[in-house]
Amino acid sequence: MSDERGDRPYLKRFLRGRRGGNIAPDDLAALEAAAQGEQTYRSRAIVVRAGSPVTNSTLLLEGFMCRYMDDRAGHRQLVAIHVPGDFVDLHGFPMGWLDHDIGTIGSVRVANWAHSALEEVLEHRPRLTRMMWFSTLLDAAMHREWVFRLGRLDAIGRVAHLLCELEVRLDMVGLAENGRYHLPLTQADLAEACGLTGVHVNRVLRSLRERELLLFRNNEVTILDKAALRALAEFDPMYLYGDPPDR
Amino acid sequence: MSDERGDRPYLKRFLRGRRGGNIAPDDLAALEAAAQGEQTYRSRAIVVRAGSPVTNSTLLLEGFMCRYMDDRAGHRQLVAIHVPGDFVDLHGFPMGWLDHDIGTIGSVRVANWAHSALEEVLEHRPRLTRMMWFSTLLDAAMHREWVFRLGRLDAIGRVAHLLCELEVRLDMVGLAENGRYHLPLTQADLAEACGLTGVHVNRVLRSLRERELLLFRNNEVTILDKAALRALAEFDPMYLYGDPPDR
DNA sequence: CGAAATCTTGAACAGCCTCAACTTTCGTGG
DNA sequence: CCACGAAAGTTGAGGCTGTTCAAGATTTCG
């Protein structure tokens, strides 16, 4: 699975590790060929604004991006964090525009597809269309889990759950090793994803460290006790639709 | 828009009121013809279990349904509420199974499509496929708004926001009038959707009543001051992708 | 009509927030 | 390479929002 896409520089991580994520070689080649080329954005850049027309879609190749909404006071709520291999704004393809902003976290490298080109490629490829559809529904499944996280878990559970999710997703695309991964989020960013304040996230991280469950220092997460952390977070990666060996 | 589908008993409410929700007549006819017929479920029934294979998809014709997940203690978190015209488990078509349970709230009437029949209809209908895809992305947009609601609003804002959302969605399908609509939820159900306790939802409803913003009695919601309620809830229906006149 | 579910209210508590001050790290230009 | 300012992280004290527990009132439904 990881090698057979070595010659697909853009799509090599797309749907990697997902159950049913095997795309037929000709579909994959057609999609890869329709790309417009790659692009970079600097850290903390806004890539898509809520409400403005979206005419192309972006696959994240390197780095982290997020989707977010602001409340009246201007405080952000992150609604998604994207890792390499994610189509960050494919929702804009059937929708035409987006209800939220999309921005970068660190600096990123992305690939682009014009919607017109996508339409052409997908016109006679119902299987590939369903794969793309599937990939947007993975986002929906993560959204639901985030609703659960915010609605039912306390502060420590929320932070733990998010960091468990990222470990699995990064592991699927080969960017985590033994529960260690790079994560260029500030504590304030974590707070914006977890519906907490930065101050409280700081205390939560201290508690996780003191319980010897997890470390987060220098933009690096180290999970010390995965089983205990997952128990605390009520985390079950089922909703990520991974291949059985990855679960 | 509302009349031209009068002869489509199942689909007459599907994507009604949505921007870009105009389905070509032949697509609509083909989809309607592929339905397996209708079915009813009693109140508080479980329709789909998380993790079990889904081989058909369900369009809600009458009544209310919900999607939910349970925490370790057995407490529910609702992740979606469905109204007539919603394809409640279309996510199962590209996914094959679901990460959450689906149940009824009151008693309901639904129509069913076998996935094999759907596949056949959609095989050569990329436009219709994108409409179905779009309808699942409306769910995703609502999920995101629920994340925002739970992450950034206080108790009164959360309840107000949910009831604002349901007013718009029910109005789109002709089931709300002047801010009044039938809603067979208990206060405990509302609590499960808002990440609150039933006790506190009771106090919140009292506060909304005393502020003369909204009444909820006898399974009926009456919005008394829509502008003030929306302001309190930081509610903007943009994310529901409605036709401009409905916004 | 009676039982069960739902709604309502009160009192005490806990978790997270706010505000504030201080420390450490990062980034940039001299 | 160092110095400096800005950003990020850390810690404490006090307060508010929503929870928990409990009891009673009301409604629903068989």
- What percent of chain B has pLDDT above 70? 96
Residues B159 and B208: their CA atoms lie apart, in Å, by: 9
pLDDT in tens, B61-96: 999 999 999 999 999 999 999 999 999 999 999 999
Residue ranges covered by each domain of chain A: 11-145, 154-246
Residue A1: what pLDDT?
Answer: 46
Q: B148–A69: do the CB atoms touch at under 8 Å?
A: yes
User: In whole numbers, what is the pLDDT of chain B averaged over residues?
Assistant: 95
Residue A2: what pLDDT?
Answer: 44
Contact at 8 Å (CB) between A162 and A83? Answer: no
**Residues A167-180, mean pLDDT to the nearest whole number:** 97
pLDDT in tens, A25-78: 999 999 999 999 999 999 999 999 999 999 999 999 999 999 999 999 999 999
The SS3 of residue A37 is strand
Pick the CATH number of B153-246 from 1.10.10.10, 1.10.260.40, 1.10.4010.10, 3.30.300.130: 1.10.10.10
Residue B5: what pLDDT?
Answer: 75
- What percent of chain A has pLDDT above 70? 96
pLDDT in tens, A77-108: 999 999 999 999 999 999 999 999 999 999 99
Backbone torsions φ then ψ of A44, nearest 5 degrees: 60, 35
Residues B54 and B225: their CA atoms lie apart, in Å, by: 42
Q: Is B14 left (phi over 0), alpha (psi -120 to 50) or beta?
A: beta
Topology adopted by domain B11-139: Jelly Rolls (2.60.120)
Residue A6: which pLDDT band, with cuts at 50, 70 and 90? low
Residue A244: which pLDDT band, with cuts at 50, 70 and 90? confident
Nearest 5 degrees, angle CA A22-CA A28-CA A31? 140
- Identify the CATH class of A11-145: mainly beta
**Which chain B residues are within 8 Å of A122, Cβ to Cβ?**
126
**Which chain A residues are within 8 Å of B146, Cβ to Cβ?**
143, 147
In the predicted structure, residue A220 carries a pLDDT above the cut 80: yes
Residue ranges of alpha helices (H) inside B107-238 are 115-123, 126-152, 155-172, 187-194, 198-210, 226-233
pLDDT in tens, B194-237: 999 999 999 999 999 999 999 999 999 999 999 999 999 999 99
Residues A152 and B105: their CA atoms lie apart, in Å, by: 20
Residues B222 and B210: their CA atoms lie apart, in Å, by: 13
Question: B96 CB contacts (<8 Å, ≥6 apart)?
Answer: A20, B53, B54
Residue B8: what pLDDT?
Answer: 76
In the predicted structure, residue A13 carries a pLDDT above the cut 50: yes
B 204-233: CB within 7 Å of strand C: 205-206
In the CATH scheme, what is the code of domain A154-246?
Answer: 1.10.10.10
Residues B22 and B16: their CA atoms lie apart, in Å, by: 8
In the predicted structure, residue B124 carries a pLDDT above the cut 90: yes
- Cβ atoms within 10 Å, residue A96: 15
Give the closest residue to B189 by CA, choosing from B84, B47, B64: B64
Query: Three-class SS string for B167-184?
Result: HHHHHHCCCEECCEEECC
Q: A152–B195: do the CB atoms touch at under 8 Å?
A: yes
User: In whole numbers, what is the pLDDT of chain A averaged over residues?
Assistant: 95
Task: Give CA separation, A101 vs A51, A89, A139, B143, B149, in Å.
Answer: 9, 10, 15, 15, 16
Residues A51 and A91: their CA atoms lie apart, in Å, by: 13
**Residues B146-166, mean pLDDT to the nearest whole number:** 98
pLDDT in tens, B138-154: 999 999 999 999 999 99
The SS3 of residue B84 is coil
Q: A195–B151: do the CB atoms touch at under 8 Å?
A: yes
B 131-190: CB within 7 Å of strand C: 186-188
Tell me how long chain B is: 247
**CB proximity A155–strand C (7 Å threshold):** yes
Estimate in Å the CA A62 to C1' C13 gap, whole number.
Answer: 47
Q: A194–B136: do the CB atoms touch at under 8 Å?
A: no
**Which chain A residues are within 8 Å of B100, Cβ to Cβ?**
144, 239
Contact at 8 Å (CB) between A240 and A168? Answer: yes
Which stretch of A71-80, A136-145, A238-247, B53-62 has the lowest confidence by average pLDDT? A238-247
Measured between CA atoms, the residue of chain A closest to residue B141 is A99
Residue B1: what pLDDT?
Answer: 46
